[in-house]
């Protein structure tokens, strides 16, 4: 507004001479206050250097004021966009993954096959560095019933947006009831875990996990098995 008033005073001081020299004009202005272009207006040389300097200072002031009004709002809007994008990325990552499947196992010392259901929950304490899996498995054979509880520390690798590969190792507690005798022991387990998500949103998928088990109790029983089943992502609460 101050800039427009200064322009009006300069144009009034020029009078008829300024309008006659319209053909030699160097600057053209628009009536931006009313929102339409009415006519080109000439600021004559007779206005003097003082008037020109005042006009330039006021134009600079108006520009700075417009910049100060626009720039912070733009920064806040951009920061809000970044926060919303981060929130969307966080929301797409599940808080944990539930594994439900079956686990056939064979003894390497001639004890035969066993088979049963398995369930585990997996979560990520360190992104792209460490995943923890806690699971329980029930194995049944002709002469025994076995319950295994394990905790695996896994290193993940992302093969694609839909596929993951993990290598894990950890302790295992084994409870066996065989021929009326109950035993408890501690074992070590190593596993190779492959996950596949049909959708990039990682809601449901399937997994295959071959494993090797070494029992530290007397006899040092060893076995290999393969676990497979369904993956169910547990979403974060919004």
Which residues of the chain register pLDDT less than 50?
3-4, 7, 10, 14-47, 75-76, 78-79, 82, 85-90
Domain ranges of the chain: 2-91, 96-234
Tell me the C-alpha distance between 101 and 115, whole Å.
Answer: 11
> What pLDDT does 156 receive?
95
Tell me the C-alpha distance between 96 and 195, whole Å.
Answer: 14
Q: Do residues 157 and 166 lie in contact, with contact meaning Cβ atoms separated by under 8 Å? A: yes
**pTM, rounded to two decimals:** 0.60
Q: Which tokens go with 7?
A: 């322009």
Architecture of the domain whose range is 96-234: Beta Barrel (2.40)
What's the pLDDT tens digit per position in 38-84?
Answer: 344 344 444 455 555 555 556 656 665 655 565 555 544 544 554 55
Give the phi and the psi of residue 45 in degrees, each rounded to 5: -65, -20
């Amino acid at each position: 507004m101050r800039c427009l008033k200064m322009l009006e005073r300069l144009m009034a001081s020029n009078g008829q001479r300024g309008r006659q020299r319209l053909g030699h004009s160097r600057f053209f202005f628009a009536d931006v206050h009313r929102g339409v272009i009415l006519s080109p207006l000439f600021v004559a040389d007779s206005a003097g250097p003082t008037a020109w300097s005042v006009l330039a200072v006021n134009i600079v002031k108006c520009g700075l004021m417009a910049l100060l009004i626009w720039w912070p709002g733009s920064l806040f809007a951009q920061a809000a966009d970044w926060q919303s994008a981060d929130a969307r990325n966080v929301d797409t990552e599940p808080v944990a993954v539930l594994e439900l499947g079956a686990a056939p196992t064979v003894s390497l010392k001639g004890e035969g096959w066993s088979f049963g259901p398995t369930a585990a929950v997996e979560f990520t304490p360190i992104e792209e560095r460490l995943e923890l899996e806690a699971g329980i498995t029930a194995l049944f054979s002709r002469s025994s019933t076995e319950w295994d509880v394990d905790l695996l520390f896994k290193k993940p690798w992302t093969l694609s947006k839909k596929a993951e590969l993990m290598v894990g190792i950890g302790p295992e507690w084994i409870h066996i009831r065989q021929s009326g005798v109950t035993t408890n022991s501690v074992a070590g387990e190593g596993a190779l875990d492959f996950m596949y998500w049909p959708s990039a949103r990682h809601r449901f998928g399937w997994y295959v996990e071959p494993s090797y088990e070494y029992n530290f109790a007397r006899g040092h029983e060893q076995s290999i098995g393969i676990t497979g089943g369904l993956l169910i992502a547990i979403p974060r609460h919004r």
